[in-house]
Structures are given as C-alpha cells and as structure tokens.
Amino acid sequence: MKNKILLLFSLVALISVISCKKEGVEIDYHYYPQEDYALMSQYLDLPEVPMAYENDFPNYYSSTNRQYDRDLATLGRVLFYDKNLSEDKTISCASCHKQEIGFSDDLAFSDGVNQRKTARNSLALGSVFSFNEYYGSSIVGRVPFFWDNRASSVQEQSRATLGNPLEMDMEMHEVKDRVLDLEYYEPLFKAAYGHGLQNEQEILDAIGIFVNTIGSFNSRYDQAVDQYLSSNGNLGGIQNVDLSGFSAIENEGRNLYVANCSSCHGNIEQGVAAPALIEANNGLAMNYEDQGAGNGVFKVPTLRNVEKTGPYMHDGSLATLEDVVNHYSEGVQNHQSLNPELKDGNQPKRLNLTDSQKASLVAFLKTYTDDEFLTDVKYSDPFKQ
C-alpha cells in the first residue's frame, strides 16, 4: 500500500499532540473538549481522536490515495447508524446496508419504517468512492446512483431515501429537528463544521463523505493483481496468465468471467473497481413489473463482496450465486431491450456451462470478498447498545 510513510507521519503527529510539554508544564491535549467527549461517550463508542478516513488504494490502481475530513466522516458515520433519523426510530441507513454483508441487505426487499418494505433490493456500497471513475460522469453527465441511476450524488440519494415513505419517511426539516434534539450531535457538528448544526445540507454532506469513504479494494483478487504488478512492473499480459495464490478452479472461473461477464461488469485489473457499462437489460424476465431506468434497463452493479450481497438483482429474485450463474448460462430471456452482449443473433446467448465450469465461476466471484473491509472498525456501528 502506498501510504506507509503518511501513516507513520500521522502516528508521530498524533503521539506528539496527545502529550506535549511546553516550558515544563504538562499540557493535557484533548481533541474534543473533555466535557464534550464525556457527553458523546454516554451514547457512542468513539476514539478520543477520530480515526483517519482514507482510501489506501492497491498499487495497481491508477488513482492516487484519497484523504477525507475525519470529523465529517465521523459525523457521517454516526448519522448513518442512527435509527432516530427515521420516522418511527427503528431504521437507520445501516438497517438496509449492513457492513458484514458488503453494506447490502440479506432480504430481497428491505424492512422500512412502520413494517413497510422497499420496492427494490438494497444495493451494496463497497464502491461508491469510485463511481466517478468507473461509471464516469462523462457518460451521463453525472455520477449515477440507484438501480435506475436517477440520483447524482450521495447527498441527493440520501435526501430521497430519508424522505421515502417506504424507507425512513422523514422530510429534511424533520431530520434536522431530530438531530438538534440529540445532545451527542452538538460536539460532532462543532468538530466538523466549527459550529452546531445550521442547515440540512450539513447533514447530507457529512453522510455523503462517510459513504464515499466506504471502499473495498483489498480482496484476494486485488492482492493477486498487485502481486502480478510487483513481479512484472506493469499489468501487460495479465489476462493470459494464471494469478498467483489462485487455485486452478479460481483461475478457470476468472477466464470464464473475462470471456462472458467483463464486457459489462469490468475487469478490475484495468485500474478501476468495476463496471464497464453503466446500465443494461440482462434478460431477467420477458416482462418487468419495475422498468428501472426504462424498458427493463438497470444499473450494472458492482460485484465487490458479491459472495455476501445476495439475494441478487434489483428485485432480489436470484437467491444464490449458483442461481445467478444458471441465469447467465441458460436462463437469459429474450427481452426486447436485451443487451447485445447477451445475444447470439436474435436469440439470447446460451453459454451452456458444465457444472464444473459453473462452480469455477462461483469460486472466482468469491475472490472479490474483502474481509478487512467487512470488519473494518471505522465503518462499523459507533452506538453503544
């Protein structure tokens, strides 16, 4: 990882601020005023000095590492996990975006406030940081969010989700009132903005920062690509060799993926985290109840941590990765908008994979699992239960 030196530097800086001596007088340094920290600590399990939020990208990434404002990210994290922001105080962002399963949900349709259900399957959040790179704002003139790509930022998405009667059912002014009533937010807003909460946008911006810090890029797949880079100096020819540390089965699965899936879902060795295509119809059905972006076209979702993010597709209609692979092998429907990549002339393509090929493809998809990300404390629930 690129950031060892920076890390060392911040550690030294940290140690020197925690106890610093001036003219023989011991200065007891506190990041938060002591009474603020004591107050927050009644509710929240936050460190005395906020954690650093940064994306320490693998070496093969073309992007430079990103640093985020740690106070905004910390505030955003608390908001993300706070059930008080929903109408009946039972649902937080994290209710439908659970860290241990890639910030997705294990239900086809998630539980919203007052026993309501969402209209779509929850999307995993491991790659929001790189939407700009891989969906590219140039393609549609903005960075797209949701299954139908209708929102253009986490702020816009969050406003829609908070206000959605099936999800959190709160107007922004109501969210603001709730936040003002909760005493642990005062110090968090002071740290982040230099003053208490003033406007709704400050809430959305903090959530936006936190969600953007959420990045998964330390899977076995990333490690294998990095390994190739360090032994070869560049990524040339990587498509044609077996990846080190991968079993024969995983390598076979990778070849099947490159041949049949990468034209839409992308190759991460190209330097970004995933999709090559912004949206498509993948022939899930002949008729769609939900038309997505129009004509049954939906976002091509990230496959990061896909092992954990089932059930799959916008309607959660495929329960397992085996079901997904069966779909692409012999189940693609001849929908009128079916993407040409999944067609053979006028007919849906039939890959007719053998059972062992299917198992290989599933084994390969599991190499996208990033255990460090799934358990990283800086993304975890800060509330004391």
Give least dist CB 267 to ligand HEC, A: 12
Identified binder of ligand HEC from the candidate list 73, 75, 78, 154, rule CB under 6 A: 154
- Which residues 6+ apart lie within 8 Å of 210 measured at CB? 53, 72, 73, 75, 76, 77, 79, 80
Asked if 268 touches ligand HEC (CB under 6 A), the answer is no
Q: Which is nearer to ligand HEC, 10 or 164 (CB)?
A: 164
- Which residues 6+ apart lie within 8 Å of 58 measured at CB? 1, 217, 218, 222, 223, 225, 226
Asked if 124 touches ligand HEC (CB under 6 A), the answer is yes
Q: Which is nearer to ligand HEC, 32 or 364 (CB)?
A: 364
| x-marked contacts with ligand HEC along 45-74 as a string, rule CB under 6 A | ------------------------------
* Spatial distance between the Cα atoms of 110 and 94, rounded to a whole number of angstroms: 11
CA separation, residue 260 to residues 252, 299, 300 (Å): 12, 18, 14
Cα 5 → chain centroid: 27
With 0-12 / 13-18 / 19 or more C-beta atoms within 10 angstroms meaning exposed / middle / buried, residue 123 is: buried
Size of the site for ligand HEC (CB under 6 A): 51
Asked if 219 touches ligand HEC (CB under 6 A), the answer is no
Give least dist CB 145 to ligand HEC, A: 4
* Spatial distance between the Cα atoms of 221 and 94, rounded to a whole number of angstroms: 26
Handedness of CA 282, 284, 289, 290 (dihedral sign): negative
Instruction: Report the alpha-carbon angle 295-297-298, nearest 5.
Output: 145
Asked if 98 touches ligand HEC (CB under 6 A), the answer is no
Asked if 324 touches ligand HEC (CB under 6 A), the answer is yes
Q: Which is nearer to ligand HEC, 6 or 166 (CB)?
A: 166
Looking at this protein, which amino acid is placed at residue 59? N
Q: Which residue stretch of 1-9, 20-28, 192-200, 257-265 sits at the interface with ligand HEC (rule: CB under 6 A)?
A: 257-265
Asked if 146 touches ligand HEC (CB under 6 A), the answer is yes
Give least dist CB 276 to ligand HEC, A: 9
Asked if 153 touches ligand HEC (CB under 6 A), the answer is no
* Tokens found for residue 250: 């995983």
Q: Which is nearer to ligand HEC, 32 or 353 (CB)?
A: 353
Give least dist CB 24 to ligand HEC, A: 49
Cα 104 → chain centroid: 8
Asked if 120 touches ligand HEC (CB under 6 A), the answer is yes
* Spatial distance between the Cα atoms of 352 and 326, rounded to a whole number of angstroms: 9
CB 82 within 8 A of CB 383: yes
Asked if 126 touches ligand HEC (CB under 6 A), the answer is no
Cα 268 → chain centroid: 15
The residue behind tokens 């908001």 is 79
Q: Which residue stretch of 5-13, 30-38, 159-167, 374-382 sits at the interface with ligand HEC (rule: CB under 6 A)?
A: 159-167
**Bond before 311 cis per omega within 30 degrees:** yes
Asked if 357 touches ligand HEC (CB under 6 A), the answer is no
Distance, first Cα to last Cα, the chain: 35
Q: Which residue stretch of 42-50, 160-168, 183-191, 237-245 sits at the interface with ligand HEC (rule: CB under 6 A)?
A: 160-168
- List residues binding ligand HEC (CB under 6 A): 80, 91, 93, 95-97, 110, 112, 118, 120, 122-125, 128, 145-147, 154, 157-158, 161-162, 167-168, 207, 211, 260-261, 263-265, 277, 280, 282, 284, 298, 300-301, 303, 306, 309, 312-314, 324, 328, 339, 341-342, 361
